[in-house]
Amino acid sequence: MANIQALRGTKDIYAPEIAHWQQVEAVVRDCLGRAAYQEIRTPIFEQTDLFERGIGEATDVVSKEMYSFTDRGDRPITLRPEGTAGAVRAYIERKLFAQGGVQRLWYTGPMFRYERPQAGRQRQFHQVGVEVLGSDDARADVEVIGIATEILQKLGLKNLSLQLNSVGNGEDRQRYRDALVEYLTPFKADLDQDSQDRLDRNPLRILDSKDQKTQEIAKNAPSIIDYLGDRSKAHFEQVQASLTALDITYTLNPCLVRGLDYYTHTAFEIQSNDLGAQATVCGGGRYDGLVAELGGPETAAVGWAIGLERLVILLQQLAEAPPSTLDFYVVSRGEAAEAASVILAHKLRFAGFSVELDLSGSAFGKQFKRADRSGAIACLVIGDHEAENDQVQLKWLQTKEQQTLAQSELLANIEQWQQKISRARQA
């Protein structure tokens, strides 16, 4: 019988790679917590209509990439392809707008798109994202860009560039759409097939084409910046001025339109020069019409999403997995010793230490080798003699120093041992 394997476009995440994921999650929680963002956890699947209305039926995500099915109640259901629509649905359904003020939300979890798998792009992929709902102030745009920048910098990433554009409001885009179609129509036969299809239904997406010949044509297309109204220009100028004041460098990119229909005004991407073709690490922008489109009150909003697979690839290129945070590795041999080791490990964990208990029952030599590989600061050894006398051998794995302690002494001086382990970890 053939083995069952993970589906194409999905992967298992485990040690040592999982350490990078945990590192990202810790930094994200810290940065967003200090910025007063509240975590929200939305369902993995939603009504298909949410994404058709929210993202746009003409987008590639909706027309080509969604995992949709009919459930046993004959309801059209879709695995979420992105996080914003679900967060906005929750904002409306739970009447978070009734609380007044600005709602700052963040989420993380798996998303699903039927794409061609490649490095950093899976069919089940993971994102962390933020949404600021209830403010049309340009400072909100700058705040979310600043937080994304902080997260990436705290993770140690370099060679990053911020690409910035404004897609204006609905009236601005309609004027620009007409001008763009007029420019592109004579080149229709020279465009790639996807761009030919988009010319009538979603021409702005042609600017984002990866086809080289289409890119050459798009270089001379009119710029959307020239079609912004006075309010849109003022908003965009304030965003740029505030980014400059924060020493966040950026490049204006009039071809940056993002792939979803709900974007208005500011659109941005943070790209890495170390990722090749799939360069975007973080992407987002303003979406002032989405809440109303989904049945809520008129609500200005801005947000972004970071793709965790691509981020982890960059972290793996930077360094090995983050060092172990294991405090003690417990080794035991013999019936009485093994029974005592379970109790000791439990008490140490309860006291706040991280402890791995060797369950192999193998010879001491093999257990010691595993202790050395574990990354623990110290090894606790219990044999028959130690079990009989309520003792433990403590071996510092870096210096190889060893001492015999009463187990009660180890457990009675928790703060002292925490300090010693902290100093050993910093050495």
Query: Per residue in 259-278, pLDDT tens?
Result: 566 788 999 999 988 776 66
User: How many angstroms separate the CA atoms of 410 and 348, rounded?
Assistant: 9
Per-residue pLDDT tens for 191-203?
A: 888 888 888 878 8
Answer whether 407's CB lies under 8 Å from 328's CB.
Answer: no
Mean pLDDT, the chain, rounded, equals: 92
In a domain, 192, yes or no: no
Q: Which amino acid is at 29?
A: R
Q: For residues 147 and 291, state if they share a domain.
A: yes
Specify the pLDDT at position 259.
59
Domain of residue 41: give its range.
Answer: 18-169+229-318
Question: Which one is predicted more confidently, 187 or 300?
Answer: 300
Task: Calculate mean pLDDT across residues 17-23.
Answer: 93
In a domain, 80, yes or no: yes
Specify the pLDDT at position 426.
81
Helices (H) and strands (E) in the chain, counts: 16, 16
pLDDT over 70 (residue 371): yes
Specify the pLDDT at position 277.
62
Q: For residues 266 and 409, state if they share a domain.
A: no
User: How many angstroms separate the CA atoms of 201 and 203, rounded?
Assistant: 6
List helix spans (H) across 202-334: 212-218, 230-245, 290-293, 308-318
Specify the pLDDT at position 204.
84
Give 325's pLDDT tier (boundaries 50, 70, 90): confident
- Of 127-131, 204-208, 292-296, minimum mean pLDDT range: 204-208
Specify the pLDDT at position 261.
66
The CATH number that applies at residue 379 is: 3.40.50.800
Specify the pLDDT at position 321.
67
Torsions phi, psi for 88 (to 5 deg): -70, -40
In a domain, 195, yes or no: no
Q: For residues 305 and 345, state if they share a domain.
A: no
pLDDT over 90 (residue 220): no
Give 145's pLDDT tier (boundaries 50, 70, 90): very high
Q: Of 305, 267, 262, whose CA–CA distance to 287 is shortest? A: 262
Answer whether 393's CB lies under 8 Å from 380's CB.
Answer: yes
pLDDT over 70 (residue 382): yes
Specify the pLDDT at position 320.
67
Q: For residues 351 and 305, state if they share a domain.
A: no
DSSP 333: -
Per-residue pLDDT tens for 146-187?
A: 999 999 999 999 889 999 999 999 899 889 889 989 999 998
DSSP 203: G
Task: Calculate mean pLDDT across residues 64-86.
Answer: 96
Domains in the chain: how many in total? 2
The model scores a pTM over 0.85: yes
User: How many angstroms separate the CA atoms of 66 and 368, rounded?
Assistant: 50
Specify the pLDDT at position 335.
94
Q: For residues 152 and 259, state if they share a domain.
A: yes
Residue at a domain's end among 283, 318, 353: 318
| Residue entry with tokens 């860009």 | 145
In a domain, 220, yes or no: no
The CATH number that applies at residue 155 is: 3.30.930.10
Hey, what long-range contacts does 398-403 have (CB within 8 A, 24 or more apart)?
Answer: 398/424, 398/427
Give 209's pLDDT tier (boundaries 50, 70, 90): confident
